Amino acid sequence: PDTSFPPIEPLRPPEGAPNVLVILIDDAGFGSSSAFGGPCQTPNFDRLADKGLRYNRFHTTALCSPTRQALLTGRNHHAVGMGGITEIATSAPGYNSIRPKAAAPLAETLKLNGYSTAQFGKCHEVPVWETSPMGPFHAWPTGSGFEHFYGFIGGETNQYAPAIYQDTVPVEPDRTPEEGYHFTEDMTDHAIDWIRQQKALMPDKPFFIYWAPGATHAPHHVPTEWSDKYKGKFDQGWDKLREESFERQKKLGVIPTDAELTARPAEIPAWDETPDEMKPVLARQMEVYAGFLEHTDHHAGRLIDA
């Protein structure tokens, strides 16, 4: 009767530990967004950059899986099995798409230190032979430190009719494309709902969110009102566009004022040498891409505001 035990204390990070939101945009180069002098209007990214930092010396692998695995683990991509994308994995060391247990993802470390963790959007780190609804699920987000996942597994999905999983269970979109469905909006709605629930029930517990939309990877799916904003904005062609972006980058200060524009690779034809019948098609492709990136920025802004 006289025995006493210390109370059970919930695990919490140190006082003042911040909420963390990582936004990863797919297939967007250094010269894409207006935050870095590009032609695609990204007012919310501009807002973040103006209140924070723009980095102009960094490295990515220019491939989905390696960059993501390196970002999530803080390791060189070969050290975590991602010498290439998961679809081209081989049994060679560094290329098998299998993250070793010695390399814990950031989400796992934060979860073990009292954070709530969730991932929304694209997950391209699962070995292809483990991507079915039968698993195994140790390489899925919920097996990699994320307590909740809402998104798709693999390199790409139809943004109007995506193959979505909630944690490890396949789910269907709640409406049709004709009713206005788009995956970026849907995943943002889920992220906002998750934050509000988490803060309502455990306001003293900080969160780590990894928000990685399918944009702007193919397929470039965006409502036409977004792509139509850019009608005629790329009729000058890519050679002129490069020069325009280059000058904006100098004015922003993200490149030195005495920088020299990289020569266009011989493999890419000059705009003036492109057949006239192809020019409207190629210009429209860029309009759709730009609309897709601005649409993504809009939903990132909704999440940041929430």
State the catalytic residues: 64, 124
- As a residue count, the chain comes to 306
CB distance 103 to 43 below 8 Å: no
Name the token pair of 4: 């006493």
CA distances from 76 to 90, 91, 161 (A): 18, 18, 34
CA distances from 97 to 87, 120, 122, 203 (A): 9, 21, 16, 37
Say what the alpha-carbon torsion angle 20, 121, 182, 235 is, to the nearest 10 degrees. 90
Give the count of beta carbons closer than 10 Å to the beta carbon of residue 39: 19
Residue whose pair of structure tokens reads 């010498």 in the numeric block: 83
Say what the alpha-carbon torsion angle 145, 127, 222, 236 is, to the nearest 10 degrees. 110
The contacts of residue 103 (CB under 8 Å, 6+ apart) are 73, 75, 79, 80
**CA 234/CA 282 separation, integer angstroms:** 9
Sign of CA dihedral 213, 32, 89, 68: negative
Q: Measured in Å, how far apart are the chain's first and last C-alpha atoms?
A: 50
Residue whose pair of structure tokens reads 């209007």 in the numeric block: 41
Which stretches within 202-277 are classed as H helix? 224-227, 238-252
Transcribe 149-179 into DSSP letters.
EEEEESS---SSS--EEETTEEE--SS-GGG
The contacts of residue 51 (CB under 8 Å, 6+ apart) are none
